[in-house]
Amino acid sequence: MKQVAAQLGVSTATVSNAYNRPDQLSEKLRERILRESAELGYYGPNLAARSLRRGESGVIGVMLADSISYSFSDPVANQLMQGIAEVLVENKKQLLLLSSGMTSAEQSSAESLPDGFILYGALQGNGFEHIKRTGKPVVVVDFEFADSGSVNIDNEQGAYNIAEHALQKEDNSQVAVLGLRLIDSSRICRLSQEDLSMPSQEISRLRLAGYMRAAEANKVSIPVDKIWHIPINSPEKAEVAAREALTSSPLPTVLLCMSDVIALAALRVANELNIAVPGQVQVTGFDDIPEASRSTPPLSTVCQQNLEKGRLAATMLLEGNSKEKVILETRLVVRQTCK
């Protein structure tokens, strides 16, 4: 900036004003400064210096519970990010991606830049406390954290709704659940009674509770050994679990899946095993990712409005409205896999 100022024969303050306070100098001078600066290859104030001085950077940090790399492969996270990005771009904010995994010095340093944070998913460790201690506004998504604003859905009710829908059918005798992250294990396995008594903060437990309530309401039981645990929301893992479930005897007539990725995997496995959906097995998902409406048959699921969640979280953060606790409505989406 100094160079530019020297070149144009004005002071640095005037150049700065040209960028930040149009009213502080004549339109003509401003025009000239902006034009000639650009020609000199100066495109505006240096962000580091500016934010050092102003105490704000125009950058919003998005911290993901899972690794950044993995998150890019997860359709649910991608939808959320889409919503967030939309609002941030509209408001000319920059998006810095942070991962909760690294607690390196580099990461900590980086956390000093953003003006605010969106936290997605339950972070392990103390990655959180750090952020909270910065005193900057924080909005969390899909969990609760201290007095931060949050955007959530009613997982229990959403799960109840779709299970209720599925279990009202005639053949509801054999219910199986393909669950996501129900316990702390990296293996695919069925649950045991003790597993259920272990407390857990995972939202999947809420979904399970919803299923259970619906089962009770419909006077059917969900045996604990018909509940599978899948450690990560990937098609590969899900297919393995789905194959176990769909080759177990007696064959489930209702397969409640805790994510669409899992449900879509179940659909593929059913197809491969020549099990008719929804003829022999009714399959339900959760999330309503874009792919859910494109499968054959299209998936019956619970829409959790991820795009909207992202938009809302970003909006709340930017509007300084970051104390509010919002519970978004879920919506039952009845397609073909469970009518």
Q: Give the binding site for a copy of itself (CB under 8 A).
A: 19, 41, 43-52, 57-59, 67-70, 72-73, 78-79, 81-83, 85-86, 89, 92-99, 101-102, 104-113, 130, 133, 235, 264, 268, 271, 290-291, 294, 296
Q: How far is the CB of 17 from DNA (least distance, A)?
A: 5
Residue 34, classed as helix, strand or coil, is helix
How far apart CA 201 and CA 322 sit, in angstroms, is 22
- Comparing CB distances to DNA, the nearer of 106 and 170 is 106
DSSP assignments along 208-266, one per residue: HHHHHHHHHHTT----GGGEEEESS--HHHHHHHHHHHHTSSSPPSEEEESSHHHHHHH
Cα angle 331, 286, 263; round to 5: 140
Q: How far is the CB of 228 from a copy of itself (least distance, A)?
A: 20
Cα angle 232, 238, 242; round to 5: 145
Kindly give, in sequence order, each residue whose CB lies less than 8 Å from that of residue 272, ignoring residues fewer than 6 positions away: none
Q: How far is the CB of 14 from DNA (least distance, A)?
A: 3
- Comparing CB distances to a copy of itself, the nearer of 127 and 210 is 127
Residues lying near DNA in the complex (CB under 7 A): 1-2, 9-14, 16-17, 19-21, 24-26, 29, 42, 45-46, 48-50, 52-55, 112
How far apart CA 21 and CA 34 sit, in angstroms, is 12
- Comparing CB distances to a copy of itself, the nearer of 85 and 224 is 85
- Comparing CB distances to DNA, the nearer of 44 and 125 is 44
- Comparing CB distances to DNA, the nearer of 34 and 332 is 34
2 makes contact, choosing from a copy of itself, DNA, none, with CB < 5 to 8 Å by partner type, with DNA
Q: How far is the CB of 14 from a copy of itself (least distance, A)?
A: 16
Structure tokens at 233: 């929301």
Helix residue spans in the chain (DSSP H): 2-8, 12-20, 27-39, 47-54, 68-71, 75-90, 105-110, 127-133, 155-167, 193-197, 203-217, 235-246, 260-272, 306-318
Q: How far is the CB of 5 from DNA (least distance, A)?
A: 7
68 makes contact, choosing from DNA, a copy of itself, none, with CB < 5 to 8 Å by partner type, with a copy of itself
Q: How far is the CB of 264 from DNA (least distance, A)?
A: 47
Q: How far is the CB of 323 from DNA (least distance, A)?
A: 25
- Comparing CB distances to a copy of itself, the nearer of 202 and 287 is 287
101 makes contact, choosing from DNA, a copy of itself, none, with CB < 5 to 8 Å by partner type, with a copy of itself
- Comparing CB distances to a copy of itself, the nearer of 101 and 116 is 101
User: Would strands 227-230 and 149-153 be described as parallel, antiparallel, or unpaired?
Assistant: unpaired
How far apart CA 61 and CA 55 sit, in angstroms, is 15
DSSP 300: B
